[in-house]
Amino acid sequence: MAQTAAQKAAALKKAAAAALKRAQAADNSSEIAATARRRAVIDTAPTPEPAPVVSNTPRLDAVKAATVVKRAADVSLKESTKPADLDNPPAGTYYQWHVFAGGGGEWRLIKTGSFGGVTGNGAVVGGDVVVGSDVVVGGGDNAVVVGDTTIKKVTDPTGPSTNITVLKSLLKGMGFNSGIIDSSSSFLMNLLSEGLDYDNAVSIFLDSKDYTLKSGVKVTSPFYEQYGYLNEGMTNAKSASELYNFVEGSKGIIEKYGLSSKFLSQDSLKKYVKNNVTAKDLDERANAARLKAINADPLYVQSLKMLGYLGSNADLTDFYLDPAIGKEKLETNRSTGAFTAEALRRANAGIKTDREDMMRFEKLTAGLQAKGLTEAEISQTASTGFQNIANTLQSSVGLSNIFEGANAASTQTIQTELEAEQFQGTESERRKRLKELGTNIFNQSTGRSTGRTTTYSNYSSAGQI
């Protein structure tokens, strides 16, 4: 049996209502939109005026009366054709013409409210989203709900076709963690409510200190407060990702090695960034400090203190993680400390380690670094070199006393000359002459003497036996 027009309309309404219910249950915005379009066609047919919606959200209770009054006013404004003053609403009012119920629908003169214009299906009103076939006009407590609606609580702002969830997803996709993103919700919502698109909102959040809203209120970016401030005073600013990765990486390193939180202070972090220290560099420093502590070489620590690299009450961690020291400078200091430790290790052999010697050790270390030697290689070179010096220092002093008499060189001078031989490959003319004299005298002595061992100490300052 053929259905009557009324039966067909009733069937369509029933099918549309069922589809809307399924869409709402699945929270599927596309199906909601399709349902809304189907209902829009049905709603063009003459139907009784729907009853006012009973809001289940306290935020909308204050506008129920206004909704009822407005709906009644709208009925009297229905027109079947496009109004003549569509683009020029009555002067001095907040009214605008808006079409309802899709193509071929009626036009209504609607008051937009104090917080914005008419928004469509799925529009956000204050903290509530309205899902259904009709329209919400305005925002906040001035919203006017027209027609049948379903209310769902959300946290999105009243941004122009933007969504805080989408913005947060973009930031997470860029590698930033939920901690900084979620704690920045209020700031991000402010940006969206200003009409900014995603790209501009992300740029302001990551690269700007603050943003002035249209209301004149200045809001500070939470990202700047936690990371961006590190670029203050920088000639070549780091990118947002570089700053973020350094700070978060540093937190993990301090926790990994159980180090003091003082290395995470704003002052320390700013110095690290200024000195181009990366999280990888910081990890290497912390591990080196740990290994040195395990080896427990007191002469190494003593050398650092004598060189002025380490305070009397500080430990190796303070030396290796000093934020005021750049990467290259720290490498030099570490190598100089290793070099000096080998001299201290042979102090009993007469090798001096006064302040004047320390200054010379720094220059000798720099020379070895210039040749491409690593800290470990410099340490080994120093060990071999100072052992050779220890083996010849006293005999070299004896030669000077024998052949130079009152003009004999001091132990300090001879040590300096021996260091030049060992670490720079240069030999002074005086050293060459003394060695030749010593060799000649030794050969003459062994030629005249039989069964007697002759040493440089057998000779007086005049060179006689």
Tell me the two tokens of residue 368: 């070895």
Pair (390, 423) in one structural domain:
yes
Distance between CA atoms of 281 and 294, rounded to whole angstroms?
20
**Which residue is it, tokens 């704003």?**
266
Pair (438, 377) in one structural domain:
yes
Range of the domain at 14: 5-123+139-147
Tell me the two tokens of residue 111: 């008051």
Pair (370, 427) in one structural domain:
yes
Of the candidate ranges 34-48, 198-212, 219-233, 384-398, the one whose mean pLDDT is the lowest:
34-48
Pair (427, 355) in one structural domain:
yes
Pair (95, 206) in one structural domain:
no
- Residue 208, domain member (yes or no): yes
How confident is the model at residue 401, as a pLDDT? Answer: 82
Asked which of 199, 226, 253 is the last residue of a domain, the reply is 226
- Residue 211, domain member (yes or no): yes
pLDDT digits (tens, 9 = 90+) for 55-107: 334 434 434 444 444 454 444 444 444 455 555 555 544 445 454 443 334 45
How confident is the model at residue 228, as a pLDDT? Answer: 96
Pair (20, 104) in one structural domain:
yes
Pair (61, 175) in one structural domain:
no
Pair (354, 460) in one structural domain:
yes
Q: Is the pLDDT of residue 118 over 80?
A: no
Percent of the chain topping pLDDT 70: 60
Asked which of 208, 226, 244 is the last residue of a domain, the reply is 226
Q: Stretch 275-292: mean pLDDT, rounded?
A: 94
- Residue 67, domain member (yes or no): yes
- Residue 382, domain member (yes or no): yes
Pair (143, 181) in one structural domain:
no
Q: Higher model confidence: residue 32 or residue 382?
A: 382
Q: Is the pLDDT of residue 289 over 70?
A: yes
Q: Higher model confidence: residue 69 or residue 437?
A: 437
Q: Stretch 104-113: mean pLDDT, rounded?
A: 45
Asked which of 226, 241, 261 is the last residue of a domain, the reply is 226
Percent of the chain topping pLDDT 90: 46
Pair (385, 461) in one structural domain:
yes
Question: How many domains is the chain built from?
Answer: 3
How confident is the model at residue 407, as a pLDDT? Answer: 76
Full strand arrangement of the beta sheet holding 135-137: 118-119, 135-137, 144-146
Pair (354, 455) in one structural domain:
yes
pLDDT digits (tens, 9 = 90+) for 336-395: 999 999 999 999 999 999 999 999 999 999 999 999 999 999 999 999 999 999 998 888
Question: For residue 127, which phi and psi values (nearest 5 degrees)?
Answer: -105, 15
Q: What is the band of 427 on the pLDDT scale with cuts at 50, 70, 90?
A: confident
Pair (20, 143) in one structural domain:
yes
- Residue 317, domain member (yes or no): no
- Residue 29, domain member (yes or no): yes
